[in-house]
Structure 1
Amino acid sequence: MVKSLRKLIEQVAKEKGIPEWLVEKALKNSIALATKKDRKIKDRVEVELTDDEVKVYILRKGEKFPLDIVPEELDRIAAYAAKEEFLRELEKADEERRYLEFIELEGEIVLGIVRKVAENEDLIVDLGKVMAVLPKREQIPKEVYKVGDRLKALLLRVVRKRGGYEIILSRTHPNFLRKLLEAEVPEIKEGEVEILNIAREPGERAKVLVRSKDTRMDPVAVVVGLRGSNIAPISKELSGERIDVIKDTDNIEELVRRSLAPAPVTDVRVDPKLKRVEVAVPKDKLSLAIGKRGINVKLANKITGWYIDILSEEDFKKISQLK
């Protein structure tokens, strides 16, 4: 019987385009279910296919107990399972295969069509072979979606859930912006320009820290493109998110200055022990440096890894005198 089951596994795998291990898993599950029905067993049942026999076990309190089944009875159960339960288990295996294919796409951009907007505003997105979820928390706040809309998103992760899998998408993750930049700027894809860090306030503003392997190359100009030709379509894709591209430097004072642009920084004081930086800006430029709802300085903190305290020039001098 084992040989005939092996042939069945090979045949179905070939016909359905499903890996043999998934077909075998489906067949073992179907035999287990058929055995439980035939013997009226309430405990879990596990089936093993060895090279020369089929073994059936009852799982109880963490232990395996072999089930005494004569060959004729096992033949009957297996034949029943192959006709009834196996078809249902095979459908599950086929679905599992389709989801497993997407595990290899984790961290990549995928295209989909919105099929449903749930009550909690999560989106059900059709990726062609499978459905995915774009949770409300992973959506750019200012965007509104409706059924039939096409969208790009980062395939964040494939999650194993009871009874199947769930694909989680994101449009807010920093790596979504990273992948959009890779697709738009060949020098990033080819490794000539490296993205060191990304900080985002989705839909509002982002800062991207870059450097080039060739010191003669200006990585900011390369990434931004001629008159913003590279950044413009990405900003549009992200609902107008403004993208600041910053050239990396080992000089923390200069890095902080660059990270707060376009606000002019007139003085800087660095405290390496606290990893804190105090900066002075003209009084009339305070709001520009801090940004709307504090977004500019918040992103500057994230992109540099330092806490940045923005002061007016007058307050900066007063504090200097007290020290």
Structure 2
Amino acid sequence: MAVSANRLELLQIADAVAREKSIDRMIVIEAMQDAIQKAARSRYGAETEVKAEINPSTGELKMWRLLEVVETVEEYSRQISLEDARNRNDAAQLGDYVTEPLPPIEFGRIAAQSAKQVIVQKVRDAERERMYEEYKDRIGEIINGSVKRVEYGNVIVDLGRGEAIIRRDELIPRETFRYGDRVRAYIHDVRQEQRGPQIFLSRTHPQFMAKLFTQEVPEIYDGVINIRSIARDPGSRAKIAVTSNDSSIDPVGACVGMRGSRVQAVVNELQGEKIDIIPWTDSIADLVVSALQPAEVVKVVLDEQVERVEVVVPDEQLSLAIGRRGQNVRLASQLTGWDIDILTEQEESERRQKEFTERSDLFMNAMNVDEMVAQLLASEGFASLEEVAYVEPIEISSIEGFDEETAAEIQARASEFLEQAERERDQKRTELGVQDELYEIDGLNAAMLVALGEDGVKTVEDFAGYTPDDLVGWKERENGEVKFFDGVFKDFPVSREEAEDMIMFARVKVGWITQEELDGDTQDLDEEAETADDAEAQEE
């Protein structure tokens, strides 16, 4: 009867641990088997291979010694000869294992402690694996928990069946938590680390706000309203752009709710963070105007090549447009994804006057014309000598006070100046050692070759090693601020697509790739773009 009681107690322990740790009962039983095997090896010798088995139904424990079948026995505690093995089992072959029953053993204090450590470690590993499997697919969800402790500003959250952490930089500024407080946060990462799976939560992530709106606004949950972009200054201010798939539903009004009830619920959760809700539009100019509210915008000028927007506001609206410590314009820039420069009407007027003067001086000095002619050309919108030299003659002769003869003379002088400048640049290009074959790349001129030479490029092969970023520059966003790094062609109107075409032409020319491979890659990219467009259309 005593043996039966021990068996029953073994299964009861396994069941209790499995329930408490929310892991499979068999994992606990396997941990017990491993622990018994380890304890048995300490009794029979560490070199002995022991197998223990607990019957999951009855709790009966059996143990065997495992002996490997070999030709010549070197370790009698682990090996057995083929002849002896076949005396026990006629089918035994070299490399097989035969078993030899072992009697039950009494565990000493040290062996029992060692067995306990094995079980605890196995159960802990299983618990960690269960937690990782449970939460790895829940990234992007909002989860509720209670504060377990606060360590160095980081909040440890009890999720019931695991722990998570909200790092100090993922907490809304000035919010504090104490033991037992309820907390709601966004799961933004789940990672397997050396100390076990780590669940990272955030209350500052933009998608935390998106999920809160999804909970508060049924139209967002149902997919009628889409959140297109979010920009946050956690704890202070946020901007969110929304659009509706149903023209009869006002997306902004639906998010605000009756008397602001819906947006207020989100504001309360975010410690009073003010939220501007604006309608999304595919027109960047209109989106920027809405994003800069409550400031009024007089004029918007887009530079699509570098994704930069120049916004002109009334003089008295400048501080409102920029916001305290640049907050309003920074959030608008994050929301739209474009860099935004704010100018007052007076600043724009002064700049335009300066540009007008510079153009007039350029035309006067380059073409040797009087001030009135230069100012007429500048006032008509001519910004460069190239424009003057290569436009249709009628565009100049149609200017009041000009005739065909005057237009022809002006264009001839502009062309002569440009040709002289081109010769000088080509001479400098030669002095820099830049080879003539680079002229074969469509789009490159002498001025560009000088810039390349100053950057150390001498041959087509040198040029083939460039990336589009090297030529036209690139942007990096850090702490909400966008920094633009100039490329070699910073002073030339070259788009990223044109830069890429030049580089690929050079790579084909030097034999790095073939034209067939290039055409194939281009076709694949076009098909991927079409597939992406179709998928986006279906989502909408």
TM norm structure 2: 0.48
Equivalent position to 1:218, from 227, 250, 254: 250
Paired amino acid for 2:305: K
- In the other structure, the counterpart of 2:100 is 72
Name the SS of the counterpart of 2:295 in structure 1. coil
Paired amino acid for 2:271: S
Q: Deviations over 1:16-37 (max 9, x none)?
A: 4634895698579758966986
Equivalent position to 1:110, from 136, 139, 143: 143
Equivalent position to 2:211, from 173, 179, 189: 179
Give the C-alpha shift of residue 270 in structure 1: 1.1
Paired amino acid for 2:334: K
Give the C-alpha shift of residue 85 in structure 1: 5.6
> Contact 1:26/1:93 (CA < 8 Å) preserved in 2?
no
- In the other structure, the counterpart of 2:407 is none
- In the other structure, the counterpart of 1:316 is 348
- In the other structure, the counterpart of 2:409 is none
Give the C-alpha shift of residue 208 in structure 1: 1.0
- Unaligned 5+ segments in structure 2 are 1-10, 52-64, 68-77, 80-96, 356-382, 384-540
Matched, 1:290 2:322: yes
Q: Deviations over 1:49-102 (max 9, x none)?
A: xxxxx999xxxxxxxxxx86863389989x999965663213431353245323
Alignment coverage as a number of residue pairs: 294
Larger RCO: Structure 1 or Structure 2 (Cα < 8 Å, ≥ 6 residues apart)? Answer: 1
Distance 1:286 1:29 in 2: 73
Name the SS of the counterpart of 2:100 in structure 1. helix
- In the other structure, the counterpart of 2:125 is 92
Give the C-alpha shift of residue 217 in structure 1: 2.1
Distance 2:234 2:220 in 1: 22
Q: Deviations over 1:219-245 (max 9, x none)?
A: 111111123221111111111111111
Distance 1:124 1:219 in 2: 37
Distance 1:177 1:303 in 2: 14
Higher strand share: 1
Distance 1:290 1:110 in 2: 36
Name the SS of the counterpart of 1:230 in structure 2. helix
TM norm structure 1: 0.77
> Contact 2:146/2:180 (CA < 8 Å) preserved in 1?
yes
1:121-140 superposed matches below 5 A: 121-140=153-172
- In the other structure, the counterpart of 1:270 is 302
Distance 1:162 1:36 in 2: 29
Distance 1:273 1:19, change over 3 A: same
Higher helix share: 2
Paired amino acid for 1:284: E
Distance 1:73 1:201, change over 3 A: farther
1:22-41 superposed matches below 5 A: 26=31
- Unaligned 5+ segments in structure 1 are 1-7, 42-46, 48-53, 57-66
Q: Deviations over 1:230-263 (max 9, x none)?
A: 1111111111111111211122111110010111
1:299-314 superposed matches below 5 A: 299-314=331-346
Give the C-alpha shift of residue 311 in structure 1: 0.9
Give the C-alpha shift of residue 115 in structure 1: 2.1
Distance 2:198 2:230 in 1: 27
Paired amino acid for 2:206: P
Distance 2:228 2:339 in 1: 18
> Contact 2:214/2:220 (CA < 8 Å) preserved in 1?
yes
Matched, 1:239 2:244: no
Distance 1:228 1:14, change over 3 A: same
Name the SS of the counterpart of 1:110 in structure 2. strand
Distance 1:317 1:25 in 2: 81
Name the SS of the counterpart of 1:18 in structure 2. coil
Give the C-alpha shift of residue 160 in structure 1: 1.5
Give the C-alpha shift of residue 124 in structure 1: 1.4
Give the C-alpha shift of residue 157 in structure 1: 2.2
Q: Deviations over 1:269-299 (max 9, x none)?
A: 1111121111111222211111111111111
Matched, 1:153 2:158: no
- In the other structure, the counterpart of 1:18 is 23
Distance 1:128 1:146 in 2: 17
Paired amino acid for 2:150: V
Distance 1:319 1:131, change over 3 A: same
> Contact 1:185/1:223 (CA < 8 Å) preserved in 2?
yes
Give the C-alpha shift of residue 195 in structure 1: 0.7
Distance 1:308 1:27, change over 3 A: farther
Give the alignment's Cα RMSD to 1 decimal.
3.7
Once structures 1 and 2 are overlaid, which stretch shifts more, 158-167 or 209-218? 158-167
Name the SS of the counterpart of 1:229 in structure 2. helix
Give the C-alpha shift of residue 140 in structure 1: 0.5
> Contact 2:132/2:192 (CA < 8 Å) preserved in 1?
no
Distance 1:25 1:198 in 2: 50
Give the C-alpha shift of residue 171 in structure 1: 0.3
Name the SS of the counterpart of 1:71 in structure 2. strand
> Contact 1:140/1:172 (CA < 8 Å) preserved in 2?
yes
Distance 1:122 1:73, change over 3 A: farther
> Contact 2:202/2:208 (CA < 8 Å) preserved in 1?
yes
- In the other structure, the counterpart of 1:228 is 260
